[in-house]
Amino acid sequence: MRYKSGLASYLVWAIVPALLLIRWQGKFVQDSVQLARYTPPPEVAALAQQANMSEDGRRAFYLTTPTIEANKVGLKLCDSHSTEKTVILGCYVSSKGIFIQKVTDKRLAGTMQVTAAHEMLHAVYHNHLSDGEQKEIVAELVRVFDGLNNPRLKKLIQIYRDRNPNQVGSELHSFLGTEVSKLSPKLEQHYAKYFVDRATVVAMAQRNEQTFAQIVSKAEAIDRQLKGMKGDLDRREQHVKEQGSIIEQQRRQLERIGNPDEYNGRLISFNQQVNSYNGQIQVLKQQITNYNRLVNSYNALSSEEKSLNESLRTGGSPQVLPSAPKEVAPGNPQEN
């Protein structure tokens, strides 16, 4: 009886891998038939080539029958089908495919390639990794991610953790694979299955991020400078107004003097004060000109950022600049 029980147990364990093998072979055949019937549009094939996808990467990509859509259409498709509410340049939708928004702005060259690679890795995670493989790769992704010094990526992943923790594994798999240059040997070996050279797509992602980061950094520096200048400008303007009031009071006093000698004596001092006052007005005007020039520079950066966002049709800014400062009018002080 024991022998029979042991044999039965052995047979059960032998059948399970066999069933898994049959299932895998069946899926492979089904995928192969689907790919044989699919001819990627030239634009889609170009994205796969430019993102340096390997044969396995292209296979996973093409099996989703990816489409490149006009910006507005792509945005609606991703909004209506995808659970990835923060990824709006493209999306992977289970059983529907990959949608990629068309981006033509030369300043954002590489955006579509990065999006294609990002969504391809989502497809790999959900369609080509077993539960055990997912668990193993996510454990390594979390370990590497915890050691990263990347505030933007940390903040982004936290959004997923707060909104839907079940998405975190897939998002880590896509973001780290396309945006982080140095990973662990285990992860590099994993991603090497899907990229001929992963560094290509990482460089594109980092270049695009830097495009926005440089604008924001310059604008923030100008904003800090403007705040410092504004305080000094306000103080100088108040001082000039006070001096103007004093001079006007002295002018009225001079007009009441009837003695010519006394009048001429006090006029010399009065004219010196007027000259000093006029000099202060010129300094104030120059400060206002400098301030307004910086305001214009800030507004130009803000316009450039908005232009980039419009190119992406994101409906929101990757990074938001502070409210634009207003130009300062020359004010009331008049030269005497």
CA distance 136 to 321: 40
Average pLDDT over every residue of 228-236: 89
59 with 118, same domain? yes
Give me the sign of the Cα torsion angle 79, 83, 86, 88.
Answer: negative
pLDDT of amino acid 313: 52
178 with 260, same domain? no
- How many of the other CB atoms lie within 10 Å of CB of 47? 24
- State which H helix or E strand residue 149 sits in: none
Residue pLDDT, tens place only, 303-317 = 888 777 776 654 333
The more confidently predicted of residues 96 and 127 is: 127
Residue pLDDT, tens place only, 34-46 = 777 888 999 999 9
pLDDT of amino acid 307: 75
Range(s) of the domain holding residue 275: 219-312
101 with 190, same domain? yes
Residue 31 resides in a domain: no
The more confidently predicted of residues 30 and 11 is: 30
Residue 307 resides in a domain: yes
Please provide the average confidence, as pLDDT, over all residues in the chain: 81
pLDDT of amino acid 317: 37
Q: Which of 181-185, 232-236, 283-287, 297-301 has the highest mean pLDDT?
A: 181-185
Average pLDDT over every residue of 197-219: 90
Residue 205 resides in a domain: no
Domain boundary among 196, 231, 255: 196
Residue 53 resides in a domain: yes
The more confidently predicted of residues 21 and 28 is: 28
If one counts the domains in the chain, the total is: 2
pLDDT of amino acid 149: 93
pLDDT of amino acid 25: 53
pLDDT of amino acid 311: 65
Q: Is the pLDDT of residue 6 over 50?
A: no
CA distances from 42 to 48, 50, 57, 195, 258 (A): 10, 12, 17, 19, 95
185 with 149, same domain? yes
45 with 140, same domain? yes
55 with 173, same domain? yes
264 with 169, same domain? no
Contacts of 270 (CB under 8 A, 6+ apart): 247, 250, 251, 254
Q: State the helix-helix crossing angle for 55-62 and 2-36, rounded to 10 degrees.
A: 80
55 with 179, same domain? yes
Average pLDDT over every residue of 109-117: 93
Q: Which two tokens stand for residue 72?
A: 């507005």
114 with 253, same domain? no
Average pLDDT over every residue of 259-281: 86
Residue pLDDT, tens place only, 39-82 = 899 999 999 999 999 999 999 999 999 999 876 555 566 765 44
Categorize the per-residue pLDDT at 169 as very low, low, confident or very high, splitting at 50, 70 and 90: very high
Categorize the per-residue pLDDT at 262 as very low, low, confident or very high, splitting at 50, 70 and 90: confident
The more confidently predicted of residues 8 and 102 is: 102
Residue 174 resides in a domain: yes
Residue 223 resides in a domain: yes
pTM of the entire predicted model: 0.70
Residue 318 resides in a domain: no
Categorize the per-residue pLDDT at 198 as very low, low, confident or very high, splitting at 50, 70 and 90: very high
- How many of the other CB atoms lie within 10 Å of CB of 94? 13
191 with 223, same domain? no
Q: Minimal CA–CA distance to 23: which of 130, 181, 171?
A: 130
CA distances from 112 to 93, 102, 185, 196, 232 (A): 17, 7, 27, 18, 47
43 with 192, same domain? yes
Residue 100: what residue type? Answer: I
pLDDT of amino acid 119: 94
81 with 189, same domain? yes
Average pLDDT over every residue of 142-163: 92
pLDDT of amino acid 127: 92
Residue 333 resides in a domain: no
pLDDT of amino acid 3: 34
